[in-house]
Structure 1
């Protein structure tokens, strides 16, 4: 073999290829050139080889986030962070303390619907906090719903119910007056279109900062579930300035009502790529969220909601998916409710298989029969463990669970059942819906509760993943989900040199300990992109 560019030495190297306990890995030309022991290093070295002895550290394949919104996210996380707000009083005091320029907007994000304690969501707390004349736009944590002030509705010209191409809605009271609660993207955009734009330079800076923070957590790649607005300009600008510290696979949105022109635009974008990013796939949504009453369930929720597909005519979704799949585009579909999951699987069963397997995102509640069918169809299940541990409770007292009722809440986020029945399971964050640090997410997948909170009762602990399953969800399973199982996801000579180095062993440390493990090194394409 030729001499290595980089050699890493560590007490533990988890290749995920089942080949002993190596302590050294060599990298050259962007790929792994050798895996062995410390005594092999002298045969791999050349005059320019960098050797990094990491001591008691653990090396794993580079971590990959299965579901991320980088460009949308830097726009959605503007204003006041409301993720720690727990009561209406907290909400009012947080908004009252915010700095708002005269005539300006008050924006916030990350709001938990449990703050309203089961009461109807209205703009009353917004008015109590800042008065009726301030335009306010507060995004709920799921990014599928918002609550806005009367002034915001007035500026948007929203005075009553609206019709939409999708299942979006402006929630109104018995007198057909908007309450301030907006459900799904088309309704949100009525007000969001009025918000001030970020400067391009600021957006570039925020995306650059985001990518470096991801690398510092051990992430080497991620799946972007959007490629809209200025995504192309941002990725090109960042790559003009240097190498991206994280690889990206991007799937543009396909929304109801777009027609053939929108599908052809998604097809055209499949040809876009850079050195460490590419467009590959199309992102659909078959339903919304349980929390907002816009999921698609076999039976209504306890509010009589979540009864319909996001597409007014579900057959149009099927036609659009087939049009793209027939042309080799892998389909990615957000499906949360049992009816939604079933309909998507019915659609996928009739589609041609593509080089990259079709995917289902979220899969929050479903019966066993659908899990077995998903595995049979070789469809990737993509799940976000902290959606379960962050917003549901073991006693079912949270908004998500009370809407579903005990029977369906007991079928929540069935990660272990998916793995045990042979399904491919990729894990991720859905940032900015939840934090992207993979250490905490891997811990949550094992604990079924938030890391570092041992007093919290686990949610359906029988659905906990083993340590290896959780690590595979970010490595080998993620690689297979991208159609790259023979290229990356394991530490094998000839595979991509994407590696993550932890201070603690993810297969031996307790989940709570691992959530706080130092990330010592992150390597992408054979180059160190983060060093602590």
Structure 2
């Protein structure tokens, strides 16, 4: 049995889940079959007898009937406002690569608010209790979608103040265009004007900034050390007169953000853009050695030596295995036969100790995290210990994103005293194969101790893919 510090032995729980398997993902959390929640936190984990000691007249008791409890899922890279506007469509749809987004622009504040709320319903139905909205700000104030500008950040502030968010939100500021250019002058001006204060950073936190370094390999816009198979030699998206100036400007952006205490997420898919990013972070750490949890977004063509540097620098990796599976042929066409086999080295990232988050990039893909875990397993190939692999991949959607959020002290596991964010699956994920996981239903989602989705209650949620 584990109990929260200072737990009053006779204080009743608000909610108890018993009779299943609880994967607390914390030290000493093995063999747990029940969990008690009180006042928005985990009060106790243990066997049924130990946990039911906290049952009182007002306690709601849920019989798991063999179902499994996990910490709430945390998608560390999910464009929720855009997702709310587009769903059930995604950029990939049924195609091997991304296509043009459906034209459903969000034209005013009311439409943006509705999109955020709709996305909140959808993610709740998937067991997602936290997500990162990666890129909101003035760089997209006149963007075609209306889903990434300053007005979206204002809607998040309003919804958080009203207590209407269905999940905890981390956001990154964006001072350039989504998937497009940025310049050093505008970036520095935006950085100086940033106001990241919120009423409750556990519900809404502006963590730092996002920078687009390059594009993606299938579009021949990933910044690489070599030309593409057809001779194309791409450049960074950051403005500059030549490659050297563009690289210097990207480095200055990263160093300036670090100096100001902001976490940086860099969209970098090519090996050369990743080198520039890591060189800049190393310089920033040499100047002011504080680990701000900077990370590479996507990292399609990251190499093993770069992964070792990332681990040494504390640089994380947010990546989407389903993109690897879907675009294999496109990457080989762009970079030459066999190139995809060396891309997305997920096992190497785990082996090297890189903080690895599996993410959906929704609405590029579906926000269904179960599909990303299945795709990761497919990409990595047969596992000598499938149960251990599943456990590690689940941590990439719970513990590691909490680390990225600088929130390991209060979320990401179900240790006593942690916030009561969890999801219930109809079967134990460690008892199924990753390929079977997408067919395992999410039964219940709890955020801050409150049930926000209950499949048995047939809560109305948006159509799922």
Could you state the TM-score of these two structures normalised by the residue count of structure 1?
0.73
Structure 1 unaligned regions, length at least 5? 87-109, 114-137, 141-191, 393-397, 449-458
Higher CA-based Rg? 1
Residue 58 of structure 2 corresponds to residue 48 of structure 1 = yes
Describe how 1:269-284 pairs up with structure 2 within 5 A. Answer: 269-275=194-200, 276-284=203-211
Checking the alignment, whether the CA contact within 8 Å between 1:16 and 1:490 is kept in structure 2 is yes
Q: Deviation of residue 274 (structure 1)?
A: 4.6
Tell me if the contact between 2:83 and 2:119 (Cα under 8 Å) persists in the aligned partners: no
CA distance in 2, matches of 1:309, 1:10: 54
Within the candidate set 37, 42, 50, 1:32 is matched to 42
| 1:184 aligned residue | none
1:238 paired residue among 153, 159, 177: 159
1:294 paired to 2:294: no
Instruction: Give the one of 434, 450, 453 matched to 1:530.
Output: 453
Q: 1:16 aligns with which of 25, 28, 31?
A: 25
The match for 1:223 among 101, 124, 132 is: 132
Q: Does structure 2 retain, via aligned residues, the 8 Å contact 1:74–1:206?
A: yes
Find the partner of 2:365 among 414, 428, 434.
434
Q: Which aligned pairs between 1:178-217 and structure 2 lie closer than 5 A?
A: 198-217=107-126
Tell me: CA distance 1:84–1:245, structure 2 relative to 1, closer, same or farther (3 Å): closer
**Structure 2 counterpart of 1:331, from 253, 261, 264:** 264
Deviates more, 1:20-29 or 1:337-346: 20-29
Structure 2, unpaired ranges of 5+: 1-6, 138-148, 241-245, 456-465
| Contact 2:401–2:412, Cα closer than 8 Å, also in 1 | yes
Residue-pair matches, total? 416
Cα deviation, residue 413, structure 1: 0.9
Aligned counterpart, 1:95: none
Q: Quick check: 1:65 aligned with 2:75?
A: yes
Q: Which residue of 1 is the match for residue 234 of structure 2?
A: 307
Q: What does 1:385-404 correspond to in 2, within 5 Å?
A: 385-392=321-328, 398-404=329-335
Q: Give, in angstroms, the shift of residue 221 of structure 1.
A: 0.4
Match of residue 254 from structure 1 = 175
Q: Which residue of 2 aligns with 1:179?
A: none
Residue 346 of structure 2: aligned partner: 415
The answer to whether structure 1 residue 265 and structure 2 residue 190 are counterparts is: yes
Most deviating of 246-255 and 460-469: 460-469
- Secondary structure of the residue aligned to 1:281 is strand
Give, in whole Å, the separation in 1 of the partners of 2:134 and 2:172. 5
In the aligned structure 2, how far is the partner of 1:196 from the partner of 1:60? 36
Whole-Å Cα distance in 2 between the matches of residues 520 and 41 of structure 1? 21
Instruction: Name which of 299, 303, 325 aligns with 1:367.
Output: 303
| Separation in structure 2 between the aligned mates of residue 430 and residue 402 of structure 1, nearest angstrom | 23
Alignment partner of 2:136: what SS? coil
SS at match of 2:37: strand
SS at match of 2:265: strand
CA–CA distance in structure 2, aligned partners of residues 530 and 74 of structure 1: 17
The structure showing larger relative contact order (alpha-carbon pairs under 8 Å, at least 6 residues apart) is: 2
2-structure distance, mates of 1:32, 1:79? 34
CA RMSD of aligned residues (A): 2.6
Compute the displacement of 1:64 (Å). 0.3
Whether the aligned pair in 2 keeps the contact of 1:299 and 1:307 (CA below 8 Å) is no
TM-score by length of 2: 0.82
Residues 92-147 of structure 1 show CA distances to partners (whole Å, capped at 9, x for unaligned) of: xxxxxxxxxxxxxxxxxx9746xxxxxxxxxxxxxxxxxxxxxxxx449xxxxxxx
For the 8 Å contact 2:131–2:168, the answer to whether it is kept is yes
Distance in 2 between residues matched to 1:481 and 1:320, nearest whole Å: 20
Shift of 1:416: 0.8
1:215 offset after TM fit, Å?
0.8
Q: Please give the per-residue CA displacement for 1:474-524, whole angstroms capped at 9, x wherever unaligned.
A: 011111122222221111111111111101111221223221111111111
